[in-house]
Amino acid sequence: MKTVGQSIKRVDAYEKVTGRAKYTDDLILNRCLFAKVLHAPIANGIVTSIDTSEAEALDGVVKVVTFHEVPTHTYPTPGHPWSVEQSHQDVADRHLLTGRIRYYGDDIATVVAEDEVTASRALKLIKAEYEEYPPVLHPRDAMKGSSPPVHAENPDNILAKSGYEIGHVEEALLASDIVLKESFCTPMVQHCHIEAPISYAYMEKDRIVVVSSTQIPHIVKRVIGQALGIPWGKVRVIKPYIGGGFGNKQDVLYEPLNAFLTTLVGGRPVKLDLSREETFANTRTRHSIEYDLTAGVSKEGKILAKDMKAYSNQGAYASHGHAIAANGATAWRHMYDVKNIRADAYTVYTNTPVGGAMRGYGIPQFCFVSECLMDDMAHKLSMDPLKFRELNLYDGYFEDPVLTPIAANTNGIRECMRRGADYIHWEEKRDLYKNQTGDKRRGVGMALFSYKTGVWPISLEISGARLILNQDGSVQLQTGAAEIGQGSDTVFTQMAADVLGLCPEDVHIQSFQDTDITPFDTGAYASRQTYISGTAVKECAELLREKILSYARTLISEEYKDRELKLSEKQIWCGKESVLSLEELALESYYSRSSSSAITSDISRQIKKNTIAFGACFAEIEVDLKLSKIRILDIINVHDSGKIINPQLASMQVHGGMSMGIGYGLSEQMLLDEQTGRVLNGTLLDYKLPTAMDAPDLHLDFVELEDPTGPFGNKALGEPPAIPPAPAIRNAFLNATGVAVNEIPLSPQRVFQELRKAGLV
């Protein structure tokens, strides 16, 4: 029975649509205490004094903790696969609470009370005084040095820098017929997942238990141990259903503080829930990155050289740090066949909210600037942007010249481009929209992208799976890979069912992760789960199948024992003859008086492979010059993500990602007060997140080339849909107006400013 490639119903659908699914807040224990965090009202400075006496005297307050009472050592927070090798460990620059304020809203104290209202009231009774320094909010300003630096160990505020050169860039630029130099800027944005970060912590005997809405339960366990300076085995983390994360919950946020608080109140349960305003300012954001790009091209349209300088605004703490800017620098080498290429990337501490992982992990920023540059070069050459790309794309297989395990094992980018162009009627509309006049003008634009699948060899990849044969012939499946709404539990169910010849209904997957029980897996990120964790699930199912067939030989008659056996449709087959049902075999394995042995398989695998996914976005827009407003008339994403395991789930992923990419391109931006560093629009009322009313009809297509490294021929799909819409929309705006805008979002205000500069309004 083949289930891979079929649109089976989500395994968690019934629980979620009926409201029976249990999220963290649904599981809060009786007599749970409530914790609230006091945030500093300055962006840069130190706490000179703090008085908690009035807060402590308030009836219902159980404990007040300041930065004076927390462990003094630092710890890291990102959800990277940590390594025993020092060079592959994350930057440890966090404290549970701090007296050195590095961004507006930094955490200086916390209150634990019997109820939420009392905790909030107590916060207002804490009296703190500060010595304030001028905040530095922009990376290039911060690189000039600040007094004091954001972190004393980085006097130039540069967290990290990296670079490479392939070929001879300067010589190739000199030999170019046209050299184009441009600067770009991408905004700071927020994930805006439905469920805000929330956890509660309590103690069992001498162990801390944390229940958290997280993408990385096994990593949270490790970081809590590091933050508290306790053996990691004394920590247990449980992840229930989760209401979205998009990378924000790929960081360890307030779980270590919550774990510490329960130890101070005798192990009583403590809930720490963030408001939406705290989620904006005090969790993680997508990095704002500034770019200087240079490209040299021949008059025939061949790119001879590319040079990139990237300046990533990290904010106040390292989090995922340089990995985001470096990921874009890696992608600069992919997709286009350029012999002379250089990149230098800087990640810089500033006094702003912290940049971290967000869907696409630096590639939405990079793709915007890279694909805008492609259109601008084509525009300079008076060449069709599609033909310009065709002239410069790699064909077929290619390897990353620096990180050779990363390769395009299958390459459907040209087919993606062809299908998207056919859908949007590219040639016809590019011709139709020439020489427009009037207040409303239309244009079509495109953008291509490439995306790695997982993090090897840059970081460690490890995943595990466990299967148990039940007495009725069904199986239990456990993975450490986190279902966060993307549908991974359904896909893993299909994979196991496919290998074992079962119906998906006979695979019972555990959607909760519990670090005491579920196999180790580093979590949900990097579009890795169907590829990396899927490999573990497939191998685990293959091992269970071997064990079942081996046990079957002890039960069947002699005439079949030396012949090939197969498992399908809950039957053991010898040729076309069923010789034993799986249910009969399972009952024997549990209850035979002579040979009972529960049949299980349990594996953990380090996965040393990677492959590149591709795709294209084509957009048609209308620009109202009087209103300075862009309306999307039509848009399509076409993806080469290898074999599609579940087409309906895949379509869901693409629609969600496209919506996120459209918001990134047209409206979303976290705004900071330039004088204070305070977030100005940290609510869903003020932050312009597109709603269903703003969304155009979304279209998609798949180019299914089975990748030889994927467990079922599949490769990355989770993050790629969010990558190309923003540059496709910008390039359509260029086609419609002739105006190249190098900063997003293309909000009415920015569009008006650019149109006015161009003399169109």
574: CATH: 3.30.365.10
Q: How many domains is the chain partitioned into structurally?
A: 3
Asked which of 273, 299, 326 is the last residue of a domain, the reply is 273
Is residue 467 domain-resident? yes
CA-closest candidate to residue 302, choices 463, 457, 120, 177: 177
Determine the pLDDT at residue 179. Answer: 98
Is residue 509 domain-resident? yes
If asked whether residues 467 and 594 sit together in one domain, one would say yes
In the DSSP assignment, the letter for residue 646 is: -
**In this model, does residue 173 exceed pLDDT 80?**
yes
pLDDT digits (tens, 9 = 90+) for 266-288: 999 999 999 999 999 999 999 99
Is residue 302 domain-resident? no
If asked whether residues 210 and 104 sit together in one domain, one would say yes
**Who's near 129: CB < 8 A, 6+ residues apart?**
47, 48, 49, 50
Is residue 298 domain-resident? no
**In this model, does residue 1 exceed pLDDT 80?**
no
**Rounded mean pLDDT of 92-112?**
98
Is residue 180 domain-resident? no
pLDDT digits (tens, 9 = 90+) for 402-443: 998 999 999 999 999 999 999 999 999 999 999 899 999 999
If asked whether residues 398 and 486 sit together in one domain, one would say no
If asked whether residues 430 and 539 sit together in one domain, one would say no
If asked whether residues 421 and 485 sit together in one domain, one would say no
Determine the pLDDT at residue 81. Answer: 81
At 635, the amino acid letter reads I
Is residue 488 domain-resident? yes
Arithmetic mean of pLDDT over the chain: 97
**Rounded mean pLDDT of 69-75?**
97
pLDDT digits (tens, 9 = 90+) for 114-143: 999 999 999 999 999 999 999 999 999 999
**Rounded mean pLDDT of 310-315?**
98
How confident is residue 249, by pLDDT bands cut at 50, 70 and 90? very high
If asked whether residues 412 and 518 sit together in one domain, one would say no
**Rounded mean pLDDT of 733-751?**
98
Determine the pLDDT at residue 561. Answer: 80
Determine the pLDDT at residue 80. Answer: 81
CA-closest candidate to residue 365, choices 408, 327, 334, 416: 327
CA distance 280 to 257: 19
In the DSSP assignment, the letter for residue 515 is: T
If asked whether residues 575 and 676 sit together in one domain, one would say no
How confident is residue 558, by pLDDT bands cut at 50, 70 and 90? confident
Asked which of 273, 304, 321 is the last residue of a domain, the reply is 273
Asked which of 255, 273, 291 is the last residue of a domain, the reply is 273
Q: Per-residue b/e over 325-356, b at no fewer than 16 CB within 10 Å?
A: bbbbbbbbbbbbebebbbbbbbbbbbbbbbbb
**In this model, does residue 647 exceed pLDDT 90?**
yes
Q: Report which of residues 200 and 435 the model is more confident about.
A: 200
CA distance 393 to 148: 47
**In this model, does residue 51 exceed pLDDT 80?**
yes
**Who's near 85: CB < 8 A, 6+ residues apart?**
none
CA distance 653 to 645: 12
The answer to whether 574 and 557 have CB atoms below 8 angstroms apart is no
Determine the pLDDT at residue 126. Answer: 98
CATH number for position 108: 3.90.1170.50
If asked whether residues 630 and 698 sit together in one domain, one would say yes
How confident is residue 87, by pLDDT bands cut at 50, 70 and 90? confident
Is residue 238 domain-resident? yes
Determine the pLDDT at residue 364. Answer: 98
Determine the pLDDT at residue 711. Answer: 97
Is residue 691 domain-resident? yes
CA distance 173 to 342: 12
Determine the pLDDT at residue 116. Answer: 97
Determine the pLDDT at residue 559. Answer: 84
pLDDT digits (tens, 9 = 90+) for 328-351: 999 999 999 999 999 999 999 999
If asked whether residues 128 and 56 sit together in one domain, one would say yes
- Sole residue written with tokens 């009972």: 596
If asked whether residues 543 and 686 sit together in one domain, one would say no
How confident is residue 756, by pLDDT bands cut at 50, 70 and 90? very high
**In this model, does residue 586 exceed pLDDT 90?**
yes
Domain of residue 219 covers: 31-133+197-273
How confident is residue 82, by pLDDT bands cut at 50, 70 and 90? confident
CA distance 212 to 214: 6
Determine the pLDDT at residue 404. Answer: 86
Q: Per-residue b/e over 442-470, b at no fewer than 16 CB within 10 Å?
A: bbbbbbbbbbbbbbbebbbbbbbbbbbbb
- Residue % of the chain over a pLDDT of 90: 96
CA distance 247 to 321: 13
The answer to whether 445 and 730 have CB atoms below 8 angstroms apart is yes
If asked whether residues 647 and 624 sit together in one domain, one would say yes
β-pair type (398-399, 475-479): unpaired
In the DSSP assignment, the letter for residue 726 is: H
CA distance 580 to 587: 12
If asked whether residues 413 and 374 sit together in one domain, one would say yes
Going across the sheet that includes 61-66, the strands are 61-66, 107-113, 33-39, 270-273, 198-204, 207-212, 235-239, 513-514
pLDDT digits (tens, 9 = 90+) for 448-473: 999 999 999 999 999 999 999 999 99
**In this model, does residue 635 exceed pLDDT 80?**
yes
